[in-house]
Amino acid sequence: MPNIESLELYIVLGAFVGFMAGLLGVGGGGLLVPLLASIFTAQGMSAGHVVHLALGTSLTSMIVSSTASIRAHSARGAVEWRIVGNMVPGIIVGAFLASQAAAKLDSGSISWFFALFMALVATRMFFDWQPQPCLKPMTVRELIGVGLGIGSVSALAAVGGGFLTVAYLGYKNMDMKRAVGTSAAMGLPIAVAGTVGYLIGGWSETSGEPHTLGFIHVPAFLAISIVSFVAAPLGARCSQSLPEIVLKRIFAVISLVLSIKMLLSFARL
């Protein structure tokens, strides 16, 4: 059984991830993945598995935080369900296939992808960059294709869903409140498909690791999920009153620092 210090860290992570999921429509994977990887390393887990476990556990934890965030944003009428429904098929296929492919990649390669993608996320969030709106209407084919790309990236970075969805919907001239709410709704299918993929892909790889199911660390998942479920509605309520740009910049800087740390720690694996 993990020691009490590790469980306390999981609880703190869960509170932060849930709050950020509700506040900004992102899953918090930019913080959760490198921190979980560091904790798993300190616990003596196989160096070749820690990044995969961090990604799989992060996506699994997002199932609960995304559900709570969806309820909060939906209650405020901030979710465009038609868009969600059209993007879900692509998201599910992309997230599942990418998680299966990730199981065959070494931790160093995934660390490079994660760190580089987080550099892009952090830059956009820090400068609050928004693409110039496009007035061309969204088609079903376009939404499925975009969903496929978002699902694939999210399975490899555990953070791409919120970032990419909000950017895309902003590009399509949707106001930020509805873009964040719709992005939060995308998090659930991404998390479910990614979880199934990492569960299957890592089943034989982690048979010797305690407390794991595939590339999912069960104690971390339970602790983070329970706390994030409570914290996500608080974040959603605060999204209407707090200075979002300041929080985004803090989130961006911390995410980038932790991602670089993870890259330096695992890129040689």
Contacts of 175 (CB under 8 A, 6+ apart): none
Going by pLDDT thresholds of 50, 70 and 90, the confidence category of residue 257 is confident
Amino acid at 38: S
Contacts of 71 (CB under 8 A, 6+ apart): 233
Q: How many CA atoms lie within 13 A of 102 on its CB side?
A: 37
Quote the pLDDT of residue 74: 86
158 contacts 62 by C-beta, under 8 angstroms: yes
70 contacts 162 by C-beta, under 8 angstroms: no
Quote the pLDDT of residue 26: 59
Q: Tens digits of per-residue pLDDT, 194-209?
A: 999 999 988 888 777 7
93 contacts 236 by C-beta, under 8 angstroms: no
Going by pLDDT thresholds of 50, 70 and 90, the confidence category of residue 244 is low
Residue 149: pLDDT over 80: yes
Q: In the predicted model, what is the mean pLDDT of residues 224-248?
A: 75
Residue 27: pLDDT over 70: no
Domain that holds residue 182: 4-266
Least confident window among 15-24, 110-119, 149-158: 15-24
Residue 239: pLDDT over 70: no
| Number of domain units in the chain | 1
Going by pLDDT thresholds of 50, 70 and 90, the confidence category of residue 155 is confident
Quote the pLDDT of residue 12: 87
Task: Scan for tokens 């919120």, then name that residue.
Answer: 162
Q: Which range has highest mean pLDDT (57-66, 131-140, 218-227)? A: 218-227
Q: Is the pTM of this model over 0.75?
A: yes
What integer best gives the mean pLDDT of the chain?
82
Q: What is the 3-state secondary structure (H, E, C) of 69-85?
A: HHHHHHHCCCCCHHHHH
Residue 106: pLDDT over 80: yes
Quote the pLDDT of residue 22: 67
Task: Scan for tokens 């914290």, then name that residue.
Answer: 231
Quote the pLDDT of residue 1: 57
Helix (H) or strand (E) holding 192: helix 176-201
Quote the pLDDT of residue 71: 82
Task: Scan for tokens 């399975």, then name that residue.
Answer: 155
40 contacts 217 by C-beta, under 8 angstroms: yes
Q: In the predicted model, what is the mean pLDDT of residues 98-118?
A: 83
- Output the six-digit token pair for 196: 């199934």
Four-point Cα dihedral 103, 107, 109, 110, nearest 10: 70
Quote the pLDDT of residue 63: 83
- Rg of the chain over Cα atoms, rounded to whole angstroms, equals 17
